[in-house]
Amino acid sequence: MSNAHRARKRFGQNFLNNEPIIQQLVAAIAVKPDDHVLEIGPGLAAMTRPLLAQLAQLEVIELDRDLVTHLENLSSAAHQLIIHQGDALEFDFSAATHRRRVVGNLPYNISTPLIFHLLDHLENIVDMHFMLQKEVVDKICAISGDRNFGRLSAMVQSQCQVVSLFAIGPENFTPAPKVNSAFLRLIPQPRVPEHLRSQFANVVRLAFTQPRKTLANNLKPHISSEQIESLELSPSTRPQNLSITDLVKLAHYL
């Protein structure tokens, strides 16, 4: 595929250009020939080609029509490429009859809403491997008590096991982004009962509305200090010091 395609800012395009890094990413994903793999934002096919070479079939979602034209040439009798032209944020990840492994170098401008979208479809996902802005990966993987622990950390960790695999510098992309990247593995592992999930999401949203304020401040008028204490939690605690278990307790109470 020609690299003459110019990266489009509105699509948040930054194309991987370092072959050893690409091989490292593909090795970390470790596909088997029969896996159902879906790649988000294949771009210039840096990961698509080596993945497709190991698979009977690979699905991709690509928004940029010009790139779709390039991708159409990659399919062969032994290695079928199925292209979904459109926006990953509007894609129904539950429509397939099989569970998928989802991978991608996610555009930085949509990575957080896209991860929230994928959390709604975890029953249909085996695992996820994403290249993201390192700052976003640090937030996702932050533990309770860490200053980076926030709404994104709590929501993702309540439903997935999170593993930051390795960092990737900007020099490995064209054009080079102004930030560092990191490769993330997410394995669905729900820690919140299904009937509590919407209430849990609501509690997390309320608790982290103003991260510097106390739990009592952020949750009034929904719950009193006395009620918080009855759950063996301190009303004066900051939301970043809450564990997933604490947040589940609050969701259950409410």
Question: What tokens were used for 195?
Answer: 């009937």
Q: Among 188, 207, 234, give the residue marking a domain's end.
A: 188
The number of distinct structural domains making up the chain is 2
Question: Is residue 3 in some structural domain?
Answer: no
Please state the pTM of the whole predicted model.
Answer: 0.91
Q: Kindly report the average pLDDT of the chain as a whole number.
A: 92
> What pLDDT does 144 receive?
96
What is the CATH number for 247? 1.10.8.100
Q: Does residue 2 belong to any structural domain of this protein?
A: no
Q: Is the dihedral of CA 126, 87, 71, 105 positive or negative?
A: negative
CB 36 within 8 A of CB 100: yes
Q: Which domain holds residue 122?
A: 9-188
Q: What backbone phi and psi angles, to 5 degrees, belong to 29?
A: -70, -40
In a domain, 1, yes or no: no
> Does one domain contain both 184 and 204?
no
Distance CA(205)–CA(155), nearest Å, equals 9
Q: How far apart are CA 21 and CA 181, in angstroms?
A: 12
Of 159, 188, 217, the position where a domain reaches its end is: 188
Residue 76 in any domain: the answer is: yes
CA dist., res. 119 & res. 224, Å (int) = 30
Both tokens assigned to 159: 């439903």
The string of DSSP letters for 3-64 reads: TTSPPPGGGT--EE--HHHHHHHHHHH---TT--EEEE--TTTTTHHHHHHT-SEEEEEE--
Tell whether 204 is covered by a domain.
yes
Question: Are residues 43 and 122 both part of a single domain?
Answer: yes
CA-based torsion, 133, 207, 201, 91: positive or negative: negative
Pairwise CA distance, residues 213 & 223, whole Å: 15
**Placement of tokens 């009034």 in the chain:** 220
In a domain, residue 140? The reply is yes
114 lies in the same domain as 92: yes
Confidence of residue 177 (pLDDT cuts 50, 70, 90): confident
Q: What is the pLDDT of residues 158-172, one digit of tens each?
A: 999 999 999 999 999
SS3 77: coil
From the number of C-beta atoms within 10 Å of its C-beta (0-12, 13-18, 19+), residue 169 rates as: middle
Same domain flag for 37 and 100: yes
| 52 assigned to some structural domain | yes
> DSSP state, 172?
G
The residue out of 138, 158, 188 marking a domain boundary is 188
pLDDT tens column, 198-242: 999 999 999 999 999 999 999 998 999 999 999 999 999 999 999
**Are 215 and 237 within 8 A, CB to CB?**
yes
CATH value at residue 90: 3.40.50.150
Q: What is the pLDDT of residue 175?
A: 83
165 and 218, same domain (yes or no): no
